[in-house]
Amino acid sequence: MSELFPALDPASDRPALRFGERGLTHGELTAAAGSLAARLGGASRVALWATPSLETAVGVVAALLAGVPVVPLNPRTGERELAHIVADSVPVAVLAGAGDTLPEALGRLERIDIPVAAAGPSSPPGGGRPVPAPPGAAAGPPAPGPLDPALIVYTSGTTGPPKGAVLPRRAIAASLDALADAWAWTDADVLVHGLPLFHVHGLILGVLGPLHRGGEVRHLGRFSVEGVARELSDGGTMLFGVPTMYHRIAESLPGDPELAKALAGARLLVSGSAALPLHDHERIAEATGRRVIERYGMTETLMNTSVRVDGTPRPGSVGTPLRGVELRLVEEDGAEITAFDGETIGEIQVRGEHLFTGYLNRPDATEAAFDGDWFRTGDMAVRDEDGSVRIVGRKATDLIKSGGYKIGAGEIENALLDHPGVREAAVTGEPDPDLGERVVAWIVASDTRTPPGEDELADHVAAQLAPHKRPREVRFLDALPRNDMGKIMKRSLGGG
Ligand code: MCA
Ligand code: AMP
C-alpha cells in the first residue's frame, strides 16, 4: 500500500487506534484516512492541529497516504512561536478536529475538519472539495519518493526560534523498521502511551510505529499513572514514556500493587527523550522485576541506538546502534575516537537513511549541523567494550531538557526581554527530580523596586512560546555577572 503503511488493511477489523472511548479498526482507519487523502492530494504542505486525539492520528495518516508533507502543531504553542512556524513552513491548510477552536494566527489558512468516520460509498471522497493544487502542478500528484518530505517537526536550538527539521519518508520507514528489529515489535503488540503528538516520540514512534507494523496504539489522552496501569492490565504489551513519566510511576509503585503487576506483565517498557536516572531504573526494577530499556534519538535523526529486547539492559546505557545506523565518537578537533573503553568521551555523530534532509529555509544551520555526511548530535558519550553507548552530557549548555522537551535558553531569554518589566535576562537549567531539568530565569528588573511577579513572567513565556518553556523559578538580581567581553557568565549563576 505504501512504504509507510505496508500493513494498512481495508478489510481488517482488528483495532488500530484507541483514544479513551473512541477507536478505529484498521479497516475504518483505512477508509477515514483514505477519504481525507483523496481530498488532500496535490497540496504542497499542510499543518496539523496535533491534539492528543483520534483526529490527529487520522490526519497524519491521510496526509502521508496522499504524499503531502505535514507540520504538526502543538495546540498550546503561544502567539510568537506559532506565527513563526506558520510563516516559515507556509502550509496551505490546517487539519483539525471538527470541534477544535483555532487561534488567530491560523485564521488565514483553509481549515479542513478531519473525518474519523469513513465517508459512505455514495459520498464524494473526503466529503468536500479538493485542496487546490499549486499553480503549474500536473493533473494528479505523482507518487511520493523515499526522499520526499513526510513531516516537518520544529525543534529548539540554543538561540533564536525553533527550526523545522524536514524528515523524509525513508527516514521514518528506516527508523521504525530498525526499532522492530531491536524490539521484536510485531502486529501483535499493543502500545500504550500518553505522549504529546507533535514530536517524534509521540507521533512517529507512538502512532506511526504501531500502524507501520499493523498493530494497535492506545493513547491515554493525557499521561497518568492510573491510565498506564489500566491499559497495561487490559492487553497493553508495550509502554513508551519520557523519564518524567517513569519517575512518576516509580513514585507511585510503593503503594500500588496493581501498578506493579501491570508493569510486570508488559513485554517492553521503553524510555527515551532524556536520560532515565539510575534511582528510577532501580525502583522500577525492584518493584516489578522488569528493567526499563532506553533508546536514544533526536528529532533530526529519529532513532540512533537502543538496548535490544534480547540484550542486557544496563542503567545508564542507551544500547547499541540500530540496524542501518553508523555511529562514531569524535574529539573536539574532529579526530575519530577508536577506543571502546567506557571512558574516552567524544561527540556522537551519526549517518544513515534515518537522518533528516535539512532544516527548512535554513541552509546555514543545515550545513553547520553536518561534518560531511555525518550529523553532529551535540551529545557527548563514551562507548563500552560491547559497543553500547553511554551519554554523559551535551555540548551546548544552553539547551535544556525538561520533561523530555528540548528548550533553548536563548528563545526564553528573548521572550523575557520582550516583557516591559525585564531589563536583563539569563536562563539556565537546573537539576529537577521530576522534570530532569527545570527552567530557571535570572532577571534584572527594569525597576528593581517593583519587579514583575514570578507568575506574570511564567505566563508571559507560556503565552509567547509554549507552557512547557515557562520558567519554573525566577530569581532577581541587581546585575547579571558578565566577563570583560560583556558576555553573561552562566557558570557563576549555577548553570553551564
Ligand atoms: C501551567 N500550565 C500553563 C501555565 N502553567 N499554561 C499556561 N500558562 C501557564 N503559566 C498548564 C500546562 O499547559 C498544562 O496543562 C499543565 O499546566 C501542566 O503543564 P506542565 O507543567 O508542562 O506539565 P508537566 O506536569 O510538567 O508535564 C510533564 C510531562 C510533559 C507530562 C512529562 O513534560 C510531557 O508530556 N513531556 C513529553 C515531552 C516529549 O514528548 N518529548 C519528545 C521530544 P494541561 O494539564 O491541560 O496539559 S524528544 C523527541 O521526540 C526525540 C526524538 C526523542 O528521543 O524522543
Ligand atoms: P529533541 O531534539 O527534542 O529531539 O531531543 C533530542 C535529544 O534528547 C538528544 O540530542 C539527547 O540529548 C536527548 N535524548 C534522547 N533520548 C535520550 C536518552 N535515552 N538518554 C539521554 N538523552 C536522550
Domain boundaries, the chain: 15-181, 190-330+379-394, 399-493
pLDDT band with cut points at 50, 70 and 90 for residue 495? low
Can you give the pLDDT at residue 135?
53
Q: What's the CA-to-centroid distance between 326 and ligand 2, angstroms? A: 17
DSSP 184: T
Residue 496 has pLDDT above 90, yes or no: no
pLDDT band with cut points at 50, 70 and 90 for residue 126? very low
Q: What's the CA-to-centroid distance between 222 and ligand 1, angstroms? A: 10
> Are 216 and 18 a contacting pair, CB within 8 Å?
yes
Site residues for ligand 1, CB cut-off 6 Å: 76, 195-196, 199-202, 223, 242, 244-245, 272-273, 297-299, 403-405, 458-459, 462, 467-468, 470
Ligand 2 atom nearest to 155, measured from its CA:
2
**CATH architecture of the domain with range 399-493:** 2-Layer Sandwich (3.30)
Residue 134 has pLDDT above 70, yes or no: no
pLDDT band with cut points at 50, 70 and 90 for residue 129? low
* More confident: 319 or 122: 319
Can you give the pLDDT at residue 125?
39
Average pLDDT over all residues of the chain: 94
CATH number of 15-181: 3.40.50.12780
Can you give the pLDDT at residue 107?
87
Can you give the pLDDT at residue 314?
83
Can you give the pLDDT at residue 2?
73
Q: Please choose, from the candidates 234, 220, 248, 180, the residue with its C-alpha nearest in 3D space to the C-alpha of residue 403.
A: 248
Can you give the pLDDT at residue 127?
42
Residue 172 has pLDDT above 70, yes or no: yes
Q: Where are the beta strands (DSSP E) in 50-138?
A: 70-73, 93-96, 110-113
Q: What's the CA-to-centroid distance between 432 and ligand 2, angstroms? A: 17
Ligand 1 atom nearest to 403, measured from its CA:
33
Q: Tell me: the pLDDT tens digits for 471-490? A: 999 999 999 999 998 899 99
pLDDT band with cut points at 50, 70 and 90 for residue 290? very high
Q: Tell me: the pLDDT tens digits for 71-125? A: 999 999 999 999 999 999 999 999 999 999 999 999 899 999 999 975 444 333 3
Region 255-268 average pLDDT: 97
Residue 317 has pLDDT above 50, yes or no: yes
Can you give the pLDDT at residue 293?
96
Site residues for ligand 2, CB cut-off 6 Å: 155, 200, 272-275, 294-299, 318, 377, 379, 391, 394, 401, 406
Q: How far apart are CA 271 and CA 292, in angstroms?
A: 7
Q: How far apart are CA 132 and CA 288, in angstroms?
A: 54
Q: What's the CA-to-centroid distance between 336 and ligand 2, angstroms? A: 22
Q: Please choose, from the candidates 379, 407, 384, the residue with its C-alpha nearest in 3D space to the C-alpha of residue 466.
A: 407
Region 417-422 average pLDDT: 97
**CA-based angle 92:3:50, to the nearest 5?**
40
> In angstroms, how far is CA 228 from the centroid of its own chain?
20
- C-alpha cell of 107? 485564521
Q: How far apart are CA 369 and CA 247, in angstroms?
A: 32
399-493 matches 15-181 in CATH topology = no
Can you give the pLDDT at residue 313?
79
**CATH architecture of the domain with range 190-330+379-394:** 3-Layer(aba) Sandwich (3.40)
Comparing 112-121, 408-417, 486-495, the range with the smallest average pLDDT is 112-121
